[in-house]
């Protein structure tokens, strides 16, 4: 079985859902522990490493999609921007509005013009606390995504685009390791984390070559091994690209090269994963401001809060996808085909 750029793999969609849910759980547990002042079971699990799954998925999907755009870098780059930028700009603007109108409702984020401008330009910016992140903090992943799209677009001008983008990613990491000094941009763009895109490219190439062996049993074993390593390696002092990138690659390999392509109820959540990811911080913050005073300050109250917020955030993300993201994509892509993502 070989893949086409427009193929929607059921396993891949499920992993999108898993990645979004992991990030949501991690942020919700951290919020609950902070405000309720109690440790919660499972907080040692690296939930927020769900974004590493997203990076490997992105490398996989972009490789398949880019096969249609050889020597058409601008068309490719435009398609990728259309897919991710509008919804991100919308939530970034919402965050700026919160900072302007309800500054007390924002957590750990101050009104900084330089940060706001860099956010819309997808440029790395060092905040006052030293963290490199845009005004919508979880948008740091989008800064990496857009950078990866730009590298891939450049590579499409070359005879062998995949070899070129692979070489660029590796070269950037080597430069980052070699230079004796660093700036915000250099430290961000040469972070070994960018190799997770390369892992996804490698999996996509195997998929294109037909090295696919559908087996539910093998897929389940691979998922267990990958997720187990994600937890185990997370306890060790290892670079993130190894501790999270390698296990994430095993997980995505299981979902693409081994998983039978059978749709499951989780496919809608996979479609809505981007909307869930971008919106969940707003749902989480609103729930904290509105529901926290009503919750008993105990472990029981904390768990009620965690469960309620997760369900609410998934609902908000799903509605955002159905009522906003999907119609917006249909409008932006009319009258041609929708962008494969």
Average pLDDT, rounded, for the chain = 90
pLDDT at 71: 81
pLDDT at 335: 62
| Residues contacting 280, CB < 8 A, separation 6+ | 20, 23, 24, 27, 313, 316, 317
Average pLDDT of the segment spanning 92-109: 82
User: Angle 44-45-48 (CA atoms, 0-180°, nearest 5)?
Assistant: 115
pLDDT band at 6 (very low <50, low <70, confident <90, very high): very low
Cα–Cα dist 340/186, whole Å: 31
pLDDT (tens digit, 9 = 90+) per residue, 132-141?
999 999 999 9
Give yes or no for residue 332 having a pLDDT over 90.
no
Average pLDDT of the segment spanning 258-266: 79
pLDDT at 34: 87
pLDDT band at 9 (very low <50, low <70, confident <90, very high): confident
Please return the burial class of 94, using the count of CB atoms within 10 Å of its CB with bins 0-12, 13-18 and 19+: middle
According to the per-residue pLDDT averaged within each range, which of 64-73, 239-248, 282-291 is highest?
239-248
pLDDT at 5: 38
């Amino acid at each position: 079985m070989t893949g086409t750029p427009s193929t929607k793999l059921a396993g891949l969609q499920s992993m999108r859902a898993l990645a979004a849910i992991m990030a949501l759980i991690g942020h919700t547990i951290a919020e609950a522990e902070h405000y309720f002042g109690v440790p919660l079971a499972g907080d040692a699990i690296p939930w927020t490493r769900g974004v590493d799954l997203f990076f490997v998925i992105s490398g996989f999907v972009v490789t398949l999609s880019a096969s249609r755009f050889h020597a058409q870098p601008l068309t490719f780059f435009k398609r990728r921007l259309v897919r991710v930028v509008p919804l991100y700009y919308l939530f970034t603007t919402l965050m700026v509005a919160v900072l302007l109108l309800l500054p007390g409702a924002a957590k750990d984020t101050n009104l900084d013009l330089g940060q706001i401008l860099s956010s819309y330009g997808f440029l790395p910016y060092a905040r006052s606390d030293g963290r490199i992140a845009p005004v919508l903090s979880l948008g740091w992943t989008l800064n990496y995504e857009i950078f990866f799209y730009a590298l891939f677009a450049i590579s499409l001008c070359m005879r062998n685009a995949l070899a070129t983008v692979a070489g660029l990613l590796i070269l950037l990491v080597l430069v980052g390791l070699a230079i004796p000094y660093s700036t915000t941009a250099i430290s961000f763009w040469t972070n070994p984390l960018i190799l997770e895109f390369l892992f996804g490219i490698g999996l996509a190439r195997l998929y294109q070559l037909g090295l696919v062996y559908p087996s539910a049993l093998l897929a389940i074993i691979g998922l267990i091994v990958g997720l187990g390593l994600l937890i185990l390696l997370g306890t060790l002092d290892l670079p993130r690209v190894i501790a999270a990138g390698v296990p994430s690659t095993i997980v995505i390999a299981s979902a693409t090269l081994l998983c039978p392509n059978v749709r499951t109820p989780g496919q809608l959540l996979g479609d809505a994963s981007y909307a869930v990811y971008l919106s969940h911080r707003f749902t989480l913050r609103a729930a904290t401001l509105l529901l926290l005073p009503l919750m008993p300050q105990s472990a029981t109250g904390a768990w009620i809060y965690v469960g309620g917020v997760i369900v609410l955030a998934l609902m908000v993300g799903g509605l955002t996808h159905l009522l906003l993201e999907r119609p917006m994509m249909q409008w932006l892509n009319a009258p041609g085909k929708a962008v494969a993502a």
